[in-house]
A and B are shown apart, each in its own frame.
Chain A
Amino acid sequence: MSQSNSTPNSGIVEIRVGLASCGMAAGATQVSKALIEALEPHGVPVKAAGCIGMCYAEPLVELIDAEGRHFMYGKVDDERVQGIVDRHVKQGQPISEWLELGHPGAQSEKYLAKQVRIALRNCGHIDPENIDDYVAAGGYSALAKSLQTSPEAVIEEVSQAGLRGRGGAGFPTGLKWRLTREVPSDAKYVVCNADEGDPGAFMDRSLLESDPHTVLEGMIIASYAIGASRGYFYVRAEYPVAVRRLRKAISQATERGYLGDDILGSGHSFEVSIREGAGAFVCGEETALLMSIEGRRGMPVPRPPFPSERGLWDHPTSINNVETFANVPFILDQGWQAYAAHGTDKSKGTKVFALAGNVVRGGLVEVPMGTTLREIIYDIGGGIPEGHTLKAVQTGGPSGGCIPASLADTPVDYDSLAAVGSIMGSGGLLVMDDTACMVDVARFFIAFSVEESCGKCTFCRVGTRQMEEILNRITGGEGSPEDLLKLEEIAEKIIKGSLCGLGQTAPNPVLTTLRNFADEYEAHVNEKRCPAKRCTALITFEIIADKCTGCTLCARNCPTKAITGESRELHFIDQDKCIKCGLCQNVCKFDAVAVS
Chain B
Amino acid sequence: MEAAVQEQLTAIIKEANVERGAAIPILQAVQNKLGYVSKEMIETISEQTGIPASDLYGVATFYSQFYMEPRGQNIVKVCHGTACHLAGAGRVATALEMATGAKDGQTSEDRMFTHERVACLGCCSLAPVVMVNEEVHANVRPERVNALMRKYRKASETKNSEGTNRVAEQQHTE
Contacts and interface: CB of A to CB of B under 8 A. Distances in A.
Interface string B96-132: 0010000000000000000000111111111101000
Interface in B82-103: 82-83, 85-86, 88, 91, 94-95, 98
A330 interface: no
A394 interface: yes
Contacts of B28: 237, 276, 278
B138 interface: yes
B173 interface: no
A357 interface: yes
B123 A295 contact: no
A356 B122 contact: no
A281 interface: yes
Contacts of A436: 86
Nearest to B127: A356
A294 interface: yes
- The listed residue with most A CB atoms (<10 A of its CB), out of B24, B94, B124, is B124
> Looking at chain B, what size class is its interface with the partner chain?
35 or more
A237 to B, nearest CB: 6
A445 B85 CA distance: 10
Contacts, number: 163
A51 to B, nearest CB: 10
B126 A281 contact: no
Contacts of A25: 123, 126, 129, 136-138
Contacts of A279: 63-65
Interface stretch (A113-121, A199-207, A462-470, A516-524): A199-207
Interface stretch (B39-47, B54-62, B68-76): B54-62
Interface in A12-41: 21-22, 24-26
Interface residues of A, number: 65
Given A278-B28, A357-B86, A201 B63 contact: no
Contacts of A298: 62-63
Contacts of A428: 82, 124
Contact of A199 (B59, B120, B138): B120
Interface string B10-49: 0000000000111111011000000000000000000000
16 contacts: A25-B126, A25-B129, A58-B138, A276-B24, A276-B25, A277-B65, A280-B62, A294-B21, A363-B125, A394-B82, A441-B86, A445-B82, A581-B91, A581-B142, A583-B91, A583-B142
Interface of B: 20-25, 27-28, 51, 55, 58-59, 62-66, 80-83, 85-86, 88, 91, 94-95, 98, 118-127, 129, 134, 136-138, 141-143
